[in-house]
Amino acid sequence: MDLITRVSQHFRDSAQTKLDAIEVLASPIAQAIEAMVDCLLNNGKILACGNGGSAADAQHFAAELVGRFEVERHELAAIALTTDSSILSAVANDYGYQMVFAKQVRALGQAGDVLVAISTSGNSPSVVEAINAAQENDLRVVALTGRGGGEIAGLLRESDVHICVPADRTSRIQETHLLAIHCLCDGIDCLLMGVEE
């Protein structure tokens, strides 16, 4: 296969994955938007975590909320738990890497906050532990996964929201997670602007 054909196929596959996901993801994304807006309107905050590309997605999401997405508005309370190298390395060294997000959730999370837990496989031990910590402290969980949701799918409560991309390939799941994050940002802005008007 020549490179142009190979690149073109990536575009087609990415577009098809997103099209296939519309019916599955539109409702949970809308539920997540409502949960996050409710949290923010009640002086809560959004915590986000993930590993690797999912860490980048967590940081991207927090940046869009604290800064802005597409419209000017006041700052929104969001923290990416993936960014403090001193906390991450200290906790990993002393407790094991699986606890790097859970310890932060216990320290920073309060009842009514939302944890955005991102794992393409649904099996990341550090994200699983973060969800356990969130549930112990009465945070609502919005999980972004793929591949059927893995272990995370079995952890979620009825009040939590599962945005599970119907795909198995990591790159396609990550691309769809990014679209879901942009939908979340847009929906949050839309509902908040309606409240402020």
For residue range 129-147, list pLDDT tens digits in order.
999 999 999 999 999 999 9
Report the pLDDT value the prediction gives residue 189, as an integer from 0 to 100: 97
Give the SS3 label for residue 132: helix
Residue 68: exposure state from Cβ atoms within 10 A (0-12, 13-18, ≥19) = middle
pTM for the model stands at 0.96
Question: CATH homologous superfamily for 3-196?
Answer: Glucose-6-phosphate isomerase like protein; domain 1 (3.40.50.10490)
Residue 140: exposure state from Cβ atoms within 10 A (0-12, 13-18, ≥19) = buried
pLDDT tens digit sequence for 97-110: 999 999 999 999 99
Structure tokens at 54: 């999912």
**pLDDT greater than 90 at residue 159:** yes
